[in-house]
Amino acid sequence: MSDTTQFRPATEETPLARVALIGVAVLGVVVLVFAPLLVVFAEATAKGVGAAVASLGNRDALSAIKLTLLIAAISVPLNAAFGIAAAWFITKFDFRGKAFLITLIDLPFSVSPVVAGLCIVLMFGANSLAGGWLVAQGFPIVFALPGIALATMFVTFPFVARELIPVMIEQGRAEEEAALTLGASGLRTFWTVTLPNIRWALLYGVLLCNARAMGEFGAVAVVSGKIRGQTATMPITIEMLYNEYLSVAAFSMSALLTALALLTLLLKTALEIRHADALAATHRH
């Protein structure tokens, strides 16, 4: 055998295998991602852009859009605050049950959103002790804004905390301890030391949380009652319009929700590209 014979390492694919793998990956992305997106926008404009825009301008559609944005505006900042507090507590203190607490934070990932919504109904419905009292006081939870916000917060709670915990573990406690030793208060230490170190991971988690909050269907469908013009969010309204054979209206709202999701994805991608080093620790778990 000639000395110039090229040997292919066992771990390296042949050119044909590489082409085949790339082709399968591209085909999967086209079929599962791009084709549905094209169908959504094509169906939305099937009767013209004017008809699509007009369908988004009626009272029920505007109510659904406003409610979705309001729920995101409520749940995302609260989950950001809770996520920071949980990550701080887990990474800066040693205590028994830390692993169990982390498991509880991950619980919404494993529990069906429908089950979560049902639990909220059982806890705060009009037939429950707490829910009945709240209804009597004029503050209903279920089939009202508070229940939708609570359900959305439950399903989106882990996103911020799970992005911050690895970053804060990676950074350790040395900088905070040095600041405290030099006389800085706990609040000043957080604002001047901790927050600048976690800001990009925090923003990354907030973007993921916002995307899920706007698109949540299962838990919201259970607790909202699907009251048109009152408790119907954009995903709920899309289902209602589609079931009523109002295809243009349903796909127009779907296109708007998709556009909001794509905007979030673009922001997330730009963040990953620009601050890859600061976000690297979030992908080590």
- DSSP assignment of 126-191: TTSHHHHHHHHTT---TTSHHHHHHHHHHHHHHHHHHHHHHHHHHH-SHHHHHHHHTT--HHHHII
- What distances in angstroms separate CA 52 from CA 41, 45, 55, 285, one per listed residue? 10, 6, 5, 43
Could you tell me the sign of the dihedral formed by the alpha carbons of 228, 68, 209, 238, in that order?
positive
Q: In this structure, are residues 56 and 132 in contact, taking their beta carbons and an 8 Å threshold?
A: no
Distance separating alpha carbons of residues 178 and 173, to the nearest angstrom: 9
d(CA 167, CA 125): 39
pLDDT in tens, 146-177: 999 999 999 999 999 988 988 888 887 788 77
CA angle 13, 276, 213 (to 5 degrees): 100
Q: Which residues contact 204 (CB under 8 A, 6 or more apart)?
A: 163, 268, 271, 272, 279, 282
Is residue 105 within 8 Å of residue 163, measured between CB atoms? no
For the chain, residues with pLDDT lower than 70 are 1-13, 275-285
Are the C-beta atoms of 201 and 165 separated by less than 8 Å?
A: no
Exposed / middle / buried, residue 207 (Cβ in 10 Å: 0-12, 13-18, 19+): buried
Q: How many residues does the chain have?
A: 285
- Residue 7, pLDDT score: 54
Written as six digits, the tokens of 20 are 């085949």
What angle do helix axes 59-92 and 247-274 make, rounded to 10 degrees?
Answer: 30
- Between CA 252 and CA 45 the distance in angstroms is 7
Q: Which two tokens stand for residue 59?
A: 């009272």
Q: What is the pLDDT of residue 121?
A: 92
* Predicted TM-score (pTM) of this structure: 0.82
- The answer to whether 237 and 60 are in contact (CB under 8 A) is yes
Angstrom distance (rounded) from CA 27 to CA 7:
31
Contact between residue 75 and residue 108 where contact means Cβ atoms under 8 Å apart: no
Q: Supply the pLDDT for residue 28.
A: 87
Which residue type is seen at 198?
I
Using H for helix, E for strand and C for coil, what is the string for 25-52?
A: HHHHHHHHHHHHHHHHHHHHCCCCHHHH
